[in-house]
Amino acid sequence: MAAFFCPPGVYRPQTDTAVLTAVLQRGGYARGRDVLDVGTGSGALALAASQAGAASVTAVDLSRRSVAAAWLNSRLHGVRVSVRRGDLFEPVADRRFGLIVANPPYVPAETDALPRHRIARCWDGGIDGRAVLDRICDGAAARLTDDGVLLMVHSALCGADATIARLAAAGMAATVLHRARIPFGPVMRARAATLQLRGLLAAGETLEELVVVEARRAR
């Protein structure tokens, strides 16, 4: 994966970013579409969509540092991306997109109070890991064109079936498009004992399953 400017407090592209990027590129999802990257972080997915032939790319993040990093990375890589600051879909409430991509915070945490000014905001997803996931599931359909697609990556610890059910309740037909098992990163290693006590991990487990969910408006 190409180098990205990631100041302190901005999510550095990791394996989940690479997994979703590979699905995006293999499937030709971005080609000719207006693309929205929700929770862009460094802008890695926005840049990947632009490089994969998107008609336009808009990137949104609540973090001022992430907005600045995504803007700078788009310029450093010679890619045109419109970067907006705001909470999920709020900055684009008047638009619809042919593709929405998302790599939201999804690691189960000790509390549902999401951090605002610490690096943990990049991965803390509330007690069940779904605090941000569910909001994306609830709001995506209204921001998609009739033939639009949502591609979202998250840990299987959060429940792929729960994501599909939540999307169905919001009027979308969803499926798990891709699965990948990867070694624990630093955050998962640090929380493994706690997650085992909560029954989310088996004792001695060192691999995490990532899922990429595809969703379209139900017809």
pLDDT band at 117 (very low <50, low <70, confident <90, very high): low
Domain count, the chain: 1
Burial class (CB in 10 A: 0-12, 13-18, 19+), 202: exposed
Q: In this predicted model, what pLDDT tens digit does every residue of 69-83 receive, in sequence order?
A: 999 999 999 999 999
Range with lowest mean pLDDT among 3-12, 91-100, 143-152: 3-12
Asked if residue 198 belongs to a domain, the reply is: no
What are residue 169's DSSP bridge partners? none
Mean pLDDT of 97-122: 86
Q: What is the mean pLDDT of residues 93-120?
A: 88
| Residue 51 belongs to some domain of the structure | yes
Across residues 33-51, what is the average pLDDT?
Answer: 97
144-192 confidence digits (pLDDT tens): 999 999 999 999 999 999 999 999 999 999 999 999 999 998 888 888 8
Residue 112 domain boundaries: 15-182+212-217
Strand partners, 176: 213
Residue 131 has which token pair? 């605090």
Please tell me the pTM assigned to this model. Answer: 0.94
Is the residue at 34 inside a domain? yes
Q: For residue 87, what is the domain's CATH number?
A: 3.40.50.150
